[in-house]
Chains A and B, each alone.
Chain A
Amino acid sequence: MSERPRERGRHSLLWPGLALPGIVWLCLFFLVPFYVVLGVAFGTVDPLFLTPQPEWNPLRWDPHAFEFVWEGLASGGGFRTVFLRTFAYVAIAVAISLAIAYPVAYYVARFGGRFKGLLLAGLVAPFLISYLMRMLAWINLLQEDGWVNAVLMWVHVLDTPRTWLDGRASSVILGLVYGYVPFMILPLYAFLDRVDRSLLEAARDLGASRFHAFRLVTLPLSTPAILAGCVIIALPMFGDYYTPDLLSGSPNTSLLGNQIDLYIRGGQQVPVGAALVVCLMLLLAVFMAYYLYATARAERRLGR
């Protein structure tokens, strides 16, 4: 008994001690890098070598790069088009993804029956196939002599082969939907699988048709899952640059991610790229906070 207090003291240090290496890691390689992005965004460029000169002291920050972005956002500016295009593509792609993901998740969750294991394996399979390989598959199919043109000409939708990989918004949006829809189906499935069946039975017993029961019970219950699914695929879409590069490669479909990539790796105006990263984070902060809040709430339910 006499040992107890001393042991408690050690006990209370055990947990922070276990967490410490991970926290230090995240500080070094997540928190510090963010500050460096700010430093570069508010820094200057060496006039001779064109290398960025980060400014670590917030009192001496130079908003030059942000002014450049701001001017580009004025009407007629280049960034305005890109921002609007990014919003449009992401909104369309998320809407199409939801239209695909919800019915599929709903069917597997409610009517999977004895094939549920197999269907689930099919839903998880895309997670093991690298995103870039899935884009490569579509590059193969969308070539001028590829199978998409062959099929479309065979059913007489097209008379001559179309160049799909030449700056078409439809190809980029197809790529985004194809690439991200699995990440929406799985959380939706996980939620729909847990919906209390007795609620549906009660609705049916009280005279609701299957469609009404769905609309009045399942759909309202799944609203948080729908929102979380939309957010979790919209976030990476906002930073995507490889999908437009691979499926279009034209400045006509350039997204925010392409601009960041261009300025960061193009060399001469790295601060502008860093400023765009800061703008992107500010833009997405609400969505990110919503998702983290929703996850924390789900965890609290699990812990109870």
Chain B
Amino acid sequence: MRRWLANAWGKPRFLLLFTLAYFAWSLVPILVAIRFSFNEGRSRSTAQGWSTRWYWSDPDLSVRNDPDLIGALSQSLTLAAIAVAVTVPLGVALAVGLTRWRGRVATASRFGSMIPLVTPEIVMGVALLLVFVHVFGFIPLGTEAQAIGHVTFSLAFVLIIVRGRLLSIGPEYEEAARDLGASPLQSLRLALLPLLVPAVVASAIIVFAISMDDFVVSAYLSAGAATDTVPVRIYSTGRTAPTPALNALASLTLGVTILIALVLFVVWRLVRRRRGAEDPTAEAFAA
């Protein structure tokens, strides 16, 4: 074994096997869940023929015909769309402001804005629930409160991505624009924003994905079955669901998420190629 490990020049084969086993373990359960969603019968644990019954044709229980299921999907997509539309501009402005603005207040705000990233979701869910019940009574639980929650926890991700890009661009382009006579706002709009486009698109992908994924905040701020998202639906009926329609709902949501993320990804590739810039966004995010 020792000699085999010390094998000097070949690729370590046991690591390859380990990695392949990881990928199998990580993806096969999902494929199995998708497979059960196409079951002919009602079982969610054994294969029983193939049909699209639980997606489409069952008159009461399919995703299409059960208002709770299709409602959950539309609620998830609504919240994700609002989250992207609000968080991305808010986060980009915050990132640009906090990166270029020097001083003690800026440093403190920069540090403070990152705290949501490391706060366990249940803490944020409880805090937001209590604030909407006891202080901001004029904001009702349901879509409004959920959307505010989603913006709050995704802001830090936009901040990381855009800040990573800003730090690698440096202030030189704006300074050049200023020297050539542009006003501060013009230099921001004409020199900096175009350079930030890849980071903006990357932020949109991330915000969309984490909003679709969120469970705790959506559950705590839900006003009842009508504002349940897909993850909340899975939580409340996952153990007891009588049919594979829940699998169908989850698979459908996954399909929609991947589709939208893919479209945004293609956009990202296109703008990045057009800018021709090296982009450290992904690494900055991962770190």
Enumerate chain A interface residues (CB-CB to B < 8 A): 7, 10-11, 14-23, 25-26, 29-34, 36-37, 39-40, 52, 54, 100, 103-104, 106-108, 111, 119, 122, 125-141, 143-147, 165, 178, 181-182, 186-187, 189-191, 193-194, 209-211, 231-232, 235-236, 238-242, 245-246, 249, 257, 260-261, 264, 270, 273-274, 277, 280-281, 284, 287-288, 291-292, 295-296, 298-299, 302-303
Contact = CB atoms under 8 A, between A and B. Distances in A.
Nearest to B22: A104
A15 B101 contact: yes
B239 interface: yes
Contacts of A103: 15, 18-19
21 contacts: A11-B184, A16-B106, A17-B97, A19-B96, A29-B131, A30-B115, A36-B127, A37-B127, A40-B134, A119-B19, A122-B27, A128-B254, A130-B257, A135-B238, A147-B46, A178-B25, A190-B287, A191-B287, A246-B235, A274-B130, A298-B287
B261 interface: yes
Given A132-B238, A141-B29, A211 B18 contact: no
A249 B46 contact: no
B22 A100 contact: yes
A190 B286 contact: yes
Contacts of B66: none
Contacts of A122: 23, 26-27
Interface in B96-155: 96-98, 100-101, 105-106, 109, 111-116, 118-124, 126-131, 134-135, 148-149, 151-152, 155
B188 interface: yes
A198 to B, nearest CB: 18
B168 interface: yes
Contacts of B283: 190, 193-194
User: Chain B CB within 10 Å — which of A7, A15, A245 has the most?
Assistant: A15
Interface string B1-39: 000011110011001101100110111011011001000
Contact of A302 (B7, B44, B167, B212): B167
A256 to B, nearest CB: 9
